[in-house]
Amino acid sequence: MKYDGVIFDFNGTLFFDTDYHVQVFDRMSRELCGKPVSLHDMESVYAGKPNVEIFRIMTNGTKSEEELQKLSERKEEMYREAVRNSGTAALCPGAYDLFALLKEHEVPFTIASASIIENIRFFREIFGLDEWIDPETIVYDDGSYVSKTAMFENAKEILGAEHVLVLEDSLSGITCADAIGAETIVIDRPVLRQYYSQFPSVIAAVQDLREVPALIRDRI
């Protein structure tokens, strides 16, 4: 069955940005409680949690909701600054070629991301996303979605698609894509490998998007 729509997660899928997040959380953790944060901490303690919850745990519940929200906003500002100042930020290998292939075959595609609007605007600017994706179709965290499943459902509806392919990098993303009946290609990570067999909807795990065209060429 051919795909009539493709939905990309962004962070960790189109943009490999884990190091930036760890860098910023580590800096803020040292400031707030004098303790470092490692990649292991991010994957084992904080994975899948929103900023506010991460800072709640990090500060042992000593901050008010208003303070936690301000910390979250500051973290995202610092993240954008770190990405911009790196001078090396780029979409993952194969992203633009995959966009071009989907365009060539007239398969609509968009992004469904848990990022806030400020980050989406930032990504559009620095990566030239508007050339490839209608910004009006991008689904992001505007406070109205109860889950990533709802985001995927909305993206699917926006694309007018029935049979969609989702590209993801997290267990929660895989679970939510499965919930809408989508097939998934996963950006492979060791912490995820134990779960792949639980989801027949996961058709492949890849290192980056250069591997994807060969996997989907006969489905588009």
pLDDT in tens, 106-123: 999 999 998 999 999 999
Pairing of strands 109-111, 183-187: unpaired
Instruction: Decide if pLDDT at 52 tops 80.
Output: yes
Q: Which residue reads 């500051």 in tokens?
A: 74
How many of the other CB atoms lie within 10 Å of CB of 104? 9
Q: Can you say whether the dihedral through the CA atoms of 197, 200, 203, 206 is positive or negative?
A: negative
Q: Any idea which residue has 């989801």 for tokens?
A: 199
**Alpha carbons within 13 A on the beta-carbon side of 3:** 27
Give the mean pLDDT of 177-186: 97
Q: Give tens-digit pLDDT for 63-118.
A: 999 999 999 999 999 999 999 999 999 999 999 999 999 999 999 999 999 899 99
Higher pLDDT, 3 or 45: 3
Question: What is the number of other CB atoms lying within 10 angstroms of the CB of residue 70?
Answer: 13
pTM: 0.91
